Amino acid sequence: MAKHRMNKAGILTLALALTLLLAACGGQSAPAANSSAAQSEAAAAQTPTAQNQTPAQPDAAPAENAAAAPKHLNAAIYWSAATLDPAVDYDGWTTCRAGITETLVMVDENLELVPLLSDTWEQTDETTWVMHIRDGVTFHNGKSVDAAAVKACFERTMEMQDRAVTACKIDSIEADGQSLTIKTSEPFGAFLANLSEPLYSVIDVDAGTDPATAPVATGPFMVTGFKAEDVIELAAYPGYWNGPSDLDTVTVKTITDNSTRAMALQSGEIDIAQRVNNNDIDILRADPNYAVYETAGTRIQVLILNHANEFLSDYNVRKALECSLNYEALVKIMGGSYTLAGAPYPSSAPYGYDQLDVQHYDAAQAKSLLAEAGWADSDGNGYVEKNGKELSLTLTYNDAAISAAMEAVQAMAGAVGIRVNLDLRDSTGDIDSTRDFEMLVRNWQSLSTGDPQWLLDTMYKSGAMTNLGSYSNLELDKICDELSNAFDFASRQKLTVEAEKIILADCVNINLFGQNNYVIASAKVENVKPFPIDYYFIDNTTSITG
């Protein structure tokens, strides 16, 4: 027995020795991680890491040293960019978020259009706009920004991206010193607002660098490193026209997973981030080390109804579906940062929300609408039928975070006799071309440039590019055309309210819920501005204390 125990001890010792031996043999793989990552993280390595800055690291540098230490901000965005070229896809939204590029005008925290690279402008006739390019603005390479540089940039963008042609209906551009004259192909009231779309970011097209990886722009931060869909390394541009940033360097990290983004904030790897899950917001809000900045957003989760569908082409079915949904319950299910929608534009926007008969819950009306249209539950299975066909619709969506709300929609519609089948997909992008859907959930930026016309022109006008539900109403089309000719805010507002009334009366789509915008930052981050439009994030005033 003693010998047996000795053997066991010997085997155990040998096993441990083997472990150590294997560990030693495999030790070469560890440094490989260092070398492979060295390129992308080189810039970050020059700066203090976020962990050194967190409250949990009391051994941070003394105050006198901290004042001299370079200031670095780690920011996280949720939307990755394949390139940094504003003319490609929606990549300009990322460069705008990161403070790399700027447009001629921008939409501020109050949804008002304010000057940016253009300080004044004048509409000389219905189709001509003369924009004065601000004096003293320079690109990151030190070259002055004049009208010719802006013209060259816009022409390149329009050549590369059809959206740039249609969004502002630009016909021709002329440059003379700091004066940029843009002629539109037709009167277009949304011209100025749409010029704030990051697609119209101004970059130096003659800089000799590849805008996809190193755009030379005008923002407070210039690119020092970029890995597609991963990280953007930035340094403050000392010649920034509106006063250089207090920060020295910034790392903008793409973190697509909401939970990971929240944990990166909590671990101190990230100082500031857009969007985390609702439950994480509550945790971070309760923690004095973090601040949650919230503002009414302009995004709305819309249930797009396919009017070409045999059931949804019937107004009564659409309206019954609309009335079957308890919107307050849906907002509660989604959690704290979600709000009631009920109309194409959020209640915070100045587009007559109070004057509208917004979408609301009325189960009794839903049932009576279905009965009026001849739908009845003849087989007693709880769902209504007509001409031998059950009222069954498939709801397609691609965001697992709204699954609970979608299940509630299924239950609510089921309660009035409409069978809803849920179809959660990885992506619904192909539907844009196939249009093969019955009901589709999309997260729409309702006021993408602070102006209402974009939404009407692209989502509701007959034959519009993203009018996926094939809705058509000539009266609404007429209003869209009138909006193009309306240049003062009061008349644009009046026309928008009229358009909203038509859309609601026709029950075109169902506005499920709105979404507030929020930025979550460490308590050390200063001058955080939550913008209603989420492509604004970091600017020259954003800073961090040591």
Of 31-39, 104-112, 240-248, 363-371, the window that binds another protein (rule: CB under 8 A) is 31-39
Residues 6+ positions from 528 with CB-CB distance below 8 Å:
272, 291, 293, 519, 521, 542
Letter for the amino acid at 471? Y
Q: Which of residues 456-475 bind another protein (CB under 8 A)?
A: 465
CA distance 105 to 101: 12
Cα separation of 224 and 42, whole Å?
Answer: 10
The stretch among 96-104, 154-162, 172-180, 300-308 that binds another protein (CB under 8 A) is 154-162
The only residue of 123, 141, 179, 260 in contact with another protein, by rule CB under 8 A: 260
Query: Which of 1, 2, 5, 26 is the binder for another protein (CB under 8 A)?
Result: 26
Among 112, 135, 162, 379, binds another protein (CB under 8 A): 162
Q: How far is the CB of 31 from another protein (least distance, A)?
A: 8
C-alpha distances out from residue 422 to 169, 172, 409, 500, Å:
39, 48, 10, 28
Q: Which is nearer to another protein, 224 or 410 (CB)?
A: 224
The rounded distance, in Å, linking the Cα atoms of 254 and 275 is: 12
> Which residue has 């051994």 as its token pair?
59
Pick one of 257, 310, 379, 407: the residue that binds another protein (CB under 8 A): 257
Question: For another protein, which stretch binds (CB under 8 A), given 53-61, 400-408, 444-452, 520-528?
Answer: 53-61
Residue where the block lists tokens 């859907």: 437
Residue that is written with structure tokens 């250089």 in the block: 244
Per CB under 8 A, the list member of 172, 381, 421, 434 interacting with another protein is: 434
Task: Give the integer Cα–Cα distance in Å for 77 and 261.
Answer: 8
- If the CB atoms of residues 210 and 310 are measured against another protein, the closer one turns out to be 210
- Give yes or no for residue 432 binding another protein (CB under 8 A): yes
By CB under 8 A, which span of 156-164, 416-424, 478-486, 496-504 interacts with another protein?
A: 156-164
How many angstroms separate the CA atoms of 305 and 400, rounded?
A: 20
Q: What angle do CA 379, 382, 385 make, to 5 degrees?
A: 55
How many binding residues for another protein (CB under 8 A)?
66
Tell me, residue by residue from 71 to 110, as one string, x for binding to another protein by CB under 8 A and - for no binding: ---------x-xx----xx---------------------
**CA–CA separation, 328 and 341 (whole Å):** 10
Cβ partners under 8 Å of residue 437, min gap 6: 304, 306, 394, 396, 428, 431, 468
Judged by CB under 8 A, the residue of 51, 110, 313, 381 near another protein is 51
Q: Write out the residues near another protein by the rule CB under 8 A.
A: 4, 7-8, 10-12, 14-16, 18-19, 22-23, 26, 29-34, 36-37, 40-41, 44, 51, 54, 56-57, 80, 82-83, 88-89, 160-164, 212, 227-231, 253-257, 259-260, 263-264, 266-269, 426-427, 429-430, 432-434, 465
